């Protein structure tokens, strides 16, 4: 089967026929959101192009995601048929499809799925060690549990928003320099560059999802910026973990790349130096994803975190979060935790890049940063190897820091 598309500019782009990420868009002249796939510099209006597929009629991915892997594959095949080169695409058919292509620059993107439950992990060993040194100096970098289970917490699904949503600087309680609690705008607003996994098919209460059932449930991948107020977080997080320092906003990319686009990107996770219990034992499995993130602040690339290096894989995270019998719902989002590699230019948060504010780093305009200033714009992008030598793009998750009305 050919992997080239008749859509101008699609072949060789990050949104080639090998990718076909799903999103929800609206046209400038209409407020009605609709489901689409990106192809080259365009988005294909799916309900208009494939009116017989009922799951594509809603302005959200949830109905398609709920339908399960066999349906996902069938729908992807139908979309591929519309967009790939002949044989099978006569000029007349092409012109039919062309009327349902809209330039990406002319549409507005929306949250691609209704977020059910949101879980955030802490699965980069490099990040966890860096944060351990910063937050708990003199103590072991990793907690006693860290190599035995993927540490995580339940977040706030209602504040997961699409890329472009303004980042209103949160107010909260933190310690003043003389050690007294005070309330005010965060002074240590940070990012966390993460990879998000979107659950499609649900699971019943009381049944764990083993490692090898991962693909029966997970639909695709998006990018996540888990905005974090470090001063609020440091004061509130003991003993129950992140709370208001994280829940003011979590941004996701507008595109969900289906797992079907990522077959060429799976690889072997890093060696495990501590044996794990049977339900987490992924010996011989290739569940790590060879994806590389790129973080820019006001246009300056500050980091390129490598995702293949994550100690815990998404399959282990899903197995763990259901190991107690917790059910999955369509639209559940679980995020990887900050992705950091071993090198300083691979750190996925500013608290690491600035060594907790002690060594500010430069931007292209000559200014220095430790944490985010009002007006700063952060963008995270990513790529992964795709089929036939292609490169899979994930779009971007971006946000600009603004002063809140309570300031």
- Catalytic annotation, residues: 127
Q: Are the C-beta atoms of residues 5 and 84 closer than 8 Å to each other? A: yes
Reading the block at residue 204, the tokens are 């019943």
Span of 143-151, 210-218, 225-233, 261-269 interacting with Mn ion by CB under 5 A: 225-233
- The minimum distance between CB 307 and Mn ion, in angstroms, equals 14
For residue 385, count other CB atoms closer than 10 A to its CB. Answer: 19
- The minimum distance between CB 192 and Mn ion, in angstroms, equals 4
Q: Which is nearer to Mn ion, 92 or 238 (CB)?
A: 238
Q: Which is nearer to Mn ion, 7 or 189 (CB)?
A: 189
Q: Report the C-alpha gap between 360 and 362 in whole angstroms.
A: 7
272: burial class by Cβ within 10 Å (0-12, 13-18, 19+)? middle
- The minimum distance between CB 338 and Mn ion, in angstroms, equals 5
- The minimum distance between CB 319 and Mn ion, in angstroms, equals 20
Across 256-306, where does the E strand assignment appear?
257-258, 266-267, 288-289, 292-297, 300-303
Return the closest-CA partner of residue 17 out of 67, 75, 77, 57: 77
Binding mask 241-260 for Mn ion (x = CB under 5 A): --------------------
Helices (H) and strands (E) in the chain, counts: 10, 26
Total residues binding Mn ion (CB under 5 A): 3
Q: Which of 45, 55, 226, 236 binds Mn ion (CB under 5 A)?
A: 226
Q: Which is nearer to Mn ion, 226 or 376 (CB)?
A: 226
Q: Report the C-alpha gap between 65 and 218 in whole angstroms.
A: 9
Q: Give the number of residues written for the chain.
A: 407
What is residue 264's DSSP assignment?
Answer: G
Span of 4-12, 84-92, 133-141, 220-228 interacting with Mn ion by CB under 5 A: 220-228
Q: Which residues of 84-117 are buried (b: 16+ CB within 10 A; e: fewer)?
A: beeeebeeeeeeebeebbbebeebebbbbbbbbb
Q: Which is nearer to Mn ion, 203 or 379 (CB)?
A: 379
Report the residue number whose CB is nearest to Mn ion: 226
Q: Which is nearer to Mn ion, 39 or 160 (CB)?
A: 160
Rule CB under 5 A: which of 78-137 touch Mn ion? 120
Binding mask 175-204 for Mn ion (x = CB under 5 A): -----------------x------------
**Can you list the alpha helix ranges (DSSP code H) found in 84-202?**
91-98, 125-135
Q: Which is nearer to Mn ion, 192 or 376 (CB)?
A: 192
- The minimum distance between CB 3 and Mn ion, in angstroms, equals 35
- The minimum distance between CB 272 and Mn ion, in angstroms, equals 22
Residues that bind Mn ion (CB under 5 A): 120, 192, 226
């Amino acid at each position: 089967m050919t992997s080239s598309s008749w859509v101008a500019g699609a072949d060789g782009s990050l949104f080639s026929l090998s990718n076909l990420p799903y999103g929800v868009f609206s046209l400038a002249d209409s407020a009605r959101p609709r489901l689409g796939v990106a192809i080259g510099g365009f988005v294909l209006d799916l309900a208009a192009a494939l009116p017989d597929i009922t799951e594509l009629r809603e302005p959200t991915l949830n109905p398609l995601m709920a339908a399960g892997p066999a349906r996902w594959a069938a729908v992807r095949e139908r979309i591929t048929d519309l967009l790939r080169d002949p044989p099978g695409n006569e000029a007349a058919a092409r012109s039919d499809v062309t009327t349902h292509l809209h330039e990406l620059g002319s549409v507005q993107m929306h949250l691609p799925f209704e977020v059910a439950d949101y879980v955030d992990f802490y699965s980069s060993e490099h990040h966890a060690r860096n944060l351990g040194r910063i937050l708990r100096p003199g103590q072991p970098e990793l907690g006693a549990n860290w190599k035995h289970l993927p540490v995580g917490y339940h977040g706030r699904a209602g504040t997961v928003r699409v890329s472009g949503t303004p980042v209103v600087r949160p107010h909260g309680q933190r310690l003043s320099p003389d050690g007294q609690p005070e309330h005010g705008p965060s002074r240590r607003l940070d990012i966390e560059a993460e990879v998000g996994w979107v659950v499609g098919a649900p699971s019943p209460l009381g049944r764990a999802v083993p490692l090898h059932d991962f693909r029966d449930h997970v639909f695709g991948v998006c990018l996540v910026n888990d905005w974090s107020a470090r001063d609020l977080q440091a004061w509130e997080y003991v003993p129950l973990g992140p709370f208001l320092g994280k829940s003011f906003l979590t941004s996701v990319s507008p595109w969900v790349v289906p797992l079907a686009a990522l077959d060429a990107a799976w690889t072997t996770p890093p060696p495990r130096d501590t044996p794990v219990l049977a339900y987490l034992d992924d010996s011989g499995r290739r569940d790590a994803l060879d994806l590389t993130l790129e973080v820019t602040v006001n246009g300056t690339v500050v980091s390129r975190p490598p995702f293949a290096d994550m100690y815990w894989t998404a399959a282990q995270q899903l197995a763990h979060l259901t190991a107690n019998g917790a059910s999955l719902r369509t639209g559940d989002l679980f995020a990887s935790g900050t992705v950091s590699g071993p090198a300083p230019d691979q750190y996925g948060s500013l608290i690491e890049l600035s060594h907790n504010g002690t060594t500010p780093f430069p931007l292209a305009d000559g200014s220095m940063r430790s944490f985010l200033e009002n007006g700063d714009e952060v963008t995270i992008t990513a790529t992964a190897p795709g089929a036939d030598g292609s490169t899979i793009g994930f779009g971007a998750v971006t946000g600009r820091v603004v002063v809140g009305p309570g300031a």
